[in-house]
């Protein structure tokens, strides 16, 4: 599975390669729910509008949504972003039945993300420690 499909252009490229290989690739579309300029992904409006175009790509299967939350100290605001992302995933799943997974939450906020509906979390820092610059 590829979790970070952040543009229609990338989805089309994955679809083309998967078709050449006679495969179907599972993907999650990345949404920038927090509107963080340092993060990539479809805007919330683009994600919903792009669903019909993504359905035309027959060599990919959209199995979920993923989001990387902005670094916020305000936990109430962070919870709102998680809730909004879950609502978007639910809305998209009405159009795309296979879109049943939600990947959000990292080491610092995974518990809250799970409370708000995350099915996948990324806890690399907890497992491997902080990244070092090399």
Q: What confidence tens digit (pLDDT) does each residue in 61-73 have? A: 999 999 999 888 8
Has residue 117 been placed in a domain?
yes
Q: What confidence tens digit (pLDDT) does each residue in 87-114 have? A: 999 999 999 999 999 999 988 899 999 9
What per-residue confidence (pLDDT) applies to 128? 81
pLDDT, average across residues 14-30: 97
What per-residue confidence (pLDDT) applies to 130? 84
CATH number at residue 101: 3.20.20.10
Look at the chain and report how many structural domains it folds into: 1
Distance in angstroms (rounded) separating the CA atoms of residues 122 and 5: 16
Q: Which domain holds residue 23?
A: 2-128
Mean pLDDT of the chain: 92
Has residue 133 been placed in a domain?
no
The band of 4, judged by pLDDT with boundaries at 50, 70 and 90, is very high
């Amino acid at each position: 599975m590829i979790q970070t499909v952040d543009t229609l252009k990338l989805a089309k490229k994955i679809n083309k390669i998967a078709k050449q290989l006679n495969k179907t690739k599972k993907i999650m579309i990345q949404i920038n729910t927090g509107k963080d300029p340092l993060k990539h992904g479809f805007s919330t409006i683009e994600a919903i509008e792009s669903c019909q175009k993504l359905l035309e790509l027959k060599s990919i299967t959209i199995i979920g949504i993923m989001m990387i939350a902005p670094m916020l100290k305000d936990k109430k605001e962070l919870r709102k972003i998680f809730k909004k992302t879950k609502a978007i995933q639910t809305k998209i799943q009405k159009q795309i039945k296979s879109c049943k997974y939600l990947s959000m939450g990292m080491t610092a906020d995974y518990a809250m993300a799970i409370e708000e509906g995350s099915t996948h979390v990324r806890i690399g820092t907890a497992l491997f420690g902080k990244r070092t610059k090399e």
